[in-house]
Amino acid sequence: MNIIGELRKKKKRTFIEKSAINVVIAIIEAYQLNSNFLSLLDNLPDLEQKIVNHEIRLRPKPYLNIPIFPLTSRNNFRLAQKIVEKIDNPYLKYARDPEEIYLSKLLFWKNPDIRAIELKNIHFELLLNSKKKGTRCIIQCPSKAGKE
């Protein structure tokens, strides 16, 4: 009887993780991206050179409402599929704006073992620069009291 109760609790606590395609669809709709964004993704080799002489901007990770089951137009869905095919990496599901989509491939290539909590809470630009310079990002999780 006790085992069945614990199994039911575990079943209730299951969490549906948002996939990369859902994240990309939410970004496309929030920032009204179109197929021109795909041409920017073709310039990824030039990105590393631009970052070398780039100042670090301290800015918060943008908030993005990501639905579990997004409803979108056929064009937006096709665009999202093309972006996911082009930028296929595990960090893509943590992106929250077009710039983070762009940076996710280089960030994963430079440092494939960043913790999920850092990816969720720190902008990819800061992670890329801090990892590049050999420093360690120290984050403080937002308290529940601040959200009330």
Dump pLDDT digits (tens) for 47-96. Answer: 555 555 555 567 789 999 999 889 999 999 999 999 999 999 999 999 99
Contact of 128 with 103, CB cutoff 8 Å? yes
Q: How far apart are the first and last CA of the chain?
A: 38
Domain extents in the chain? 17-147
Dump pLDDT digits (tens) for 61-74. Answer: 999 999 988 999 99
pTM: 0.73
| Percent of the chain that is helix, strand, coil (3-state, to 5) | 60, 0, 40
DSSP letter assigned to residue 94: G
Dump pLDDT digits (tens) for 109-148. Answer: 889 999 999 999 999 988 988 755 554 544 444 444 344 3
pLDDT at position 44: 66
